[in-house]
């Protein structure tokens, strides 16, 4: 999922919704999927797959397990402010994805997609010690999403689907060198529409 090819695929699918003459299909069985469908994480290929309702139900007990396919969680948890400076964040809008191997990758949306870097393991452990909710972030399928740009203070644990929707939104709305007048209102609307889910 955090691989370059998979990230590009997710961004494209979020940015280029099917037209009326085409429809998205389940990557497992080929059945049509509704616009708001679930995703699976393929641990072997490290990519995300669209899943119809029937196929997603097959993996409902494996949201945090170790099987080949893992259902991406839908929970969202709003956090108190998390100090992200030590994590090496050069911008105020970023997300952090813990991996099953213990590493953490950080990404920030840009007009070219998501820029990625590896987080220093000691810095991540310090962040977890300061905000113990981060210890429960499910590897590969959940992320810490942060927006401190323009004096905002948003800190969330979200499904990685949300992060890639945000990347697609930034790509779609960005204009010129500084983003133009559309991208920041769209980002603010994105965060305004996030709601907590258990």
Q: Which residues of the chain have pLDDT under 70?
A: 1-22, 62-66
Q: Report the pLDDT value the prediction gives residue 185, as an integer from 0 to 100.
A: 93
pLDDT at 22: 64
Q: Could you tell me if 26 and 33 are in contact, meaning their C-beta atoms sit under 8 angstroms apart?
A: yes
The greatest distance separating any two alpha carbons of the chain, rounded to the nearest whole angstrom, comes to 50
Q: Which residues are 189's β-sheet partners? A: none
> What is the percentage of the chain residues whose pLDDT exceeds 90?
51
pTM for the whole thing? Answer: 0.81
Distance CA(15)–CA(36), nearest Å, equals: 14
Exposure class string for 164-180: b at 16+ Cβ within 10 A, else e: bbbbbbbbebbeeeebe
Residue 107: what pLDDT? 93
- Asked if 60 contacts 16 with a C-beta cutoff of 8 angstroms, the reply is no
Q: What is the pLDDT of residue 20?
A: 45
């Amino acid at each position: 999922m955090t691989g370059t090819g998979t990230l590009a695929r997710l961004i494209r699918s979020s940015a280029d919704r099917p037209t009326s003459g085409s429809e998205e299909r389940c990557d497992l069985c080929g059945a049509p999927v509704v616009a708001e469908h679930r995703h699976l994480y393929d641990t072997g290929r490290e990519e995300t797959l669209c899943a119809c309702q029937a196929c997603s139900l097959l993996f409902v007990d494996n949201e945090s397990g170790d099987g080949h396919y893992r259902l991406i969680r839908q929970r969202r948890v709003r956090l108190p402010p998390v100090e992200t400076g030590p994590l090496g964040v050069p911008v105020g809008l970023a997300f952090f994805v813990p991996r099953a191997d213990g590493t953490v990758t950080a990404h920030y949306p840009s007009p070219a997609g998501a820029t990625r870097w590896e987080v220093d393991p000691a810095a991540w452990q310090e962040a977890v010690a300061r905000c113990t909710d981060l210890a429960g972030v499910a590897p590969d399928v959940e992320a810490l999403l942060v927006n401190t740009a323009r004096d905002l203070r948003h800190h969330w644990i979200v499904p990685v689907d949300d992060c890639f929707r945000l990347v697609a939104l930034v790509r779609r709305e960005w204009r010129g060198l500084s983003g133009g007048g559309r991208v920041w209102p769209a980002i603010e609307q994105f965060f305004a529409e996030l709601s907590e889910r258990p």
